[in-house]
Amino acid sequence: MRIGFIGLGIMGRPMAKNLIKAGHELIVNDFNKDAVADLVSCGAKAASSAAEIAAQCDQAITMVPNSPHVRAVALEKNGLIEGAKPGFTLIDMSSIDPVESKKIGAALAEKGIDMLDAPVSGGEPKAIDGTLSVMVGGKKDTFDKYLPVLQAMAGSVTYVGELGAGNIAKLANQIVVACNIAAVAEALTFSKKAGADPELVYKAIRGGLAGSTVMDAKAPMMLAGNYKPGFRIELHIKDLNNALNAAHAINSPVPLTGELMEMMQSLKAYGCEKDDHSALAKYYERISGASIVK
């Protein structure tokens, strides 16, 4: 299948490579010319704009930072809407505001263009090995049609409901992940302050009810002081901001989300926004005066 792919960042680049490995023909676009050249070296073709991609493909995947970027790629000058024919499908795998997903989808529908919102979870390691979790909103028959494409990048693909439901699920995921990372950092810092070895405490509790995928992914990074980004603080701030906006719009209280937003904002103020979100351990180091780094 010939697929357009727009957005070759930390997540998009390995996702696109997995599509090529699965035998799909890719036409790619990104502001980062080195990323485009990397994909071309793997067999992809380069396009100068989203409109050029849409003119050559029946579907395109977007993996860009936030709602305004999706809107620009889809609807603005040189966007997909300028090159797409009726029947074209946009699969937006970015994590954006679900309200904006619905608005973009409605504008595309007026031109006969379908849309799925299909955000992902798993970070860079799972993007590389093709085991991402994908949550999808949109028409069920469109989901069924493109399920094999999504499975080429994922370990699990779940249909959630109508357009926008994918991003609702992703925001719920990001709330849980943020709270979980903070809880791990808080517990390990408590262990250190109380006189126990945080690494041994981690090993002791990881097999019990407290254990989680997040703990096993992030606790070793915290203990090693390794904050190389798989998912940057600044991106989690973006997701929590979308979660807060969406929650406030429907009068759904999210007090833990608000607290995590302020914790991450404090890290941003200290210049840590490019760090992995496991750098929440640095927040606890600052307020406790104790480091859990081995």
Q: Single out the catalytic residue among 17, 126, 170, 218.
A: 170
pLDDT tens digits, residue range 178-236?
Answer: 999 999 999 999 999 999 999 999 999 999 999 999 999 999 999 999 999 988 999 99
For the chain, percent of residues with pLDDT exceeding 70:
100
Q: Which of 264, 287, 262, 286 is nearest to 276 (CA)?
A: 264
- Report d(CA 55, CA 49) in Å as an integer: 10
Q: Which of 121, 122, 70 is nearest to 91 (CA)?
A: 70
Ramachandran angles phi, psi of 157, nearest 5°? -130, 120
Question: CA separation (Å) from 155 to 90, 133, 218?
Answer: 21, 6, 20
pLDDT of residue 153: 98
Query: Domain coordinates of the chain in residue numbers?
Result: 2-163, 168-288
Euclidean distance between the first and the last CA atom of the chain, given in angstroms as a whole number: 48
- Report d(CA 38, CA 189) in Å as an integer: 41
Residue 17's pLDDT band, with cuts at 50, 70 and 90, is very high
Residue 247's pLDDT band, with cuts at 50, 70 and 90, is very high
pLDDT of residue 230: 83
Q: Is the pTM of this model over 0.85?
A: yes
Domain 168-288: give its CATH architecture: Orthogonal Bundle (1.10)
Write the CB contacts of 55 (distance below 8 Å, at least 6 apart in sequence): 83, 84
Residue 44's pLDDT band, with cuts at 50, 70 and 90, is very high
CB-CB contact of 154 with 132 (8 Å): yes
Q: Quick one: 235 exposed, middle or buried, by C-beta within 10 A (0-12, 13-18, 19+)?
A: buried
Residue 80's pLDDT band, with cuts at 50, 70 and 90, is very high
- Report d(CA 19, CA 16) in Å as an integer: 5
Mean pLDDT, residues 117-146 taken together: 96
Q: How many other β-carbons are positioned within 10 Å of the β-carbon of residue 148? A: 12
- Report d(CA 80, CA 74) in Å as an integer: 5
Residue 122's pLDDT band, with cuts at 50, 70 and 90, is confident
Residue 289's pLDDT band, with cuts at 50, 70 and 90, is very high
pLDDT tens digits, residue range 57-69?
Answer: 999 999 999 999 9
CB-CB contact of 60 with 42 (8 Å): no
Residue 15's pLDDT band, with cuts at 50, 70 and 90, is very high
Mean pLDDT, residues 35-56 taken together: 98
pLDDT of residue 123: 85
The CATH class that applies to domain 2-163 reads alpha beta
Is 170 considered catalytic here?
Answer: yes
3-state secondary structure of 129: helix
- Report d(CA 20, CA 12) in Å as an integer: 12
What own/partner pairs with CB < 8 Å and gap ≥ 24 does 42-49 have? 42/17, 44/5, 44/16, 44/20, 47/4, 49/78, 49/83
